[in-house]
Amino acid sequence: MEVYLNGKFVPYEQAVVSVEDRGFVFADGIYEVVRIYHGKPFLWQEHMDRLRRSAQAIRLKLPAMEELTQAGFETMRRSQLDDATLYIQITRGAAPRLHSFPVGVEPTVFMIARPYHRPAATMVQKGIACITVPDLRWHKCSIKTVGLLLNVIAKQEAEDAGADDAVFVRDDVITEGTSSNFFMVKDGTLITHPADDFILRGITRDFVIELAEEMGIPVREEYITRDALSQSDEAFLTSTGVEVLPVTVIDGQKVGSGRPGPVTMRLWERFDQVVAESVE
C-alpha cells in the first residue's frame, strides 16, 4: 500500500511524520473523509469546500486545491480499491513546541485510501441502539479538527454499555453523534440541529436535507430537547460512513415503534438510488 505524504507517494511502512508535528503535539490540524463508491469519489467538491472552511477557521494555509484534488485522485487510483474511504489530513507542520503559529513552516499533508463497505442491510433493516452522553466538547465543533478525544471516549462509553453509538447532549439539547449528525422525525417532518458551532455540518447531512426537500418531506433545523426526542416517531444518523442509518433504541427506550420508520427508509432508499446512479 502507498500513501501520499508531502508531495510524494511512499510505501505505508515508510511513511514518517516528525515527532514535533503540530498535529501530534497540539491536534493542530484538520481532516476530511471522502467516500469512494466503485472507484469514484462521492460529493468530492462539497468535501473540498468544507476542508477549505476548516482551514480558514484555524488560519491554516492550504496547498492549492487543484494540487490536493490531483493528489487525492491519484491516491485513489493507486489503491485500486472500488469501495473505500479517502482520508485527508493537513496539519500546521513540524516545528519546536510553542503555542504561537510557527513562521515559514510548510503544512504536513497526508492521504490514505482504505477499504470500506456500506452498512450491512441487516443493520439498516433493524436499526441501531444509542446512548446519550454529556457534550463536553469545545464550542467550535463546526471545524473538522483532528482533536477528537471526547468523541473517542463517547464512542467507547457506548460500546461499554452494549450500544452501537452515542449521541451528545448539551444543555438538554441533542447535538449530534460521535461521528455523525442526528435527525428525528415527528409527524412526517424531519428535524435536526441547526448548523451552528455546536455541530459539524455534515456533507451527508446537507445532502439528505436536499433529498428530503426534493421528495416533499418537510425539514426543520431547530433544537431537539430530550423531551421532544422522547416523543419522536423515528430517528436516524447520517455521515459519510453510515449514510442514512436508523436509530431504533436510545438509552434503552424504543424510538417510535422500535423499528426503522417509513420516512427514514424512504430517505435511505433514495440515497441508495443516488449512489447507484453516481457510479453508472
Q: What is the C-alpha separation between 154 and 158, in angstroms, rounded?
A: 6
- The per-residue pLDDT for 279 is 74
Q: What is the C-alpha separation between 121 and 191, in angstroms, rounded?
A: 25
pLDDT tens digits for 242-276?
999 999 999 999 999 999 999 999 999 999 999 99
The pTM (predicted TM-score) of the whole model is 0.96
The arithmetic mean of pLDDT across residues 116-120, rounded, is 95
Which DSSP category does 185 fall into? E
- The per-residue pLDDT for 278 is 84
The kind and range of the H/E element at 37 are strand 29-37
CATH fold of 2-115, please?
A: D-amino Acid Aminotransferase; Chain A, domain 1 (3.30.470)
Residues 6 or more apart whose CB falls under 8 angstroms from that of 202 comprise 180, 181, 238, 239, 240
- The per-residue pLDDT for 251 is 98
Mark whether 8 is an active-site residue: no
- The per-residue pLDDT for 146 is 98
Residue (of 114, 115, 112, 93) closest to 104 by Cα position:
93
Catalytic entry in 8, 126, 140, 144 = 144
pLDDT tens digits for 176-185?
999 999 999 9
What are the extents of the domains in the chain?
2-115, 121-278
What CATH class does 121-278 carry?
A: alpha beta
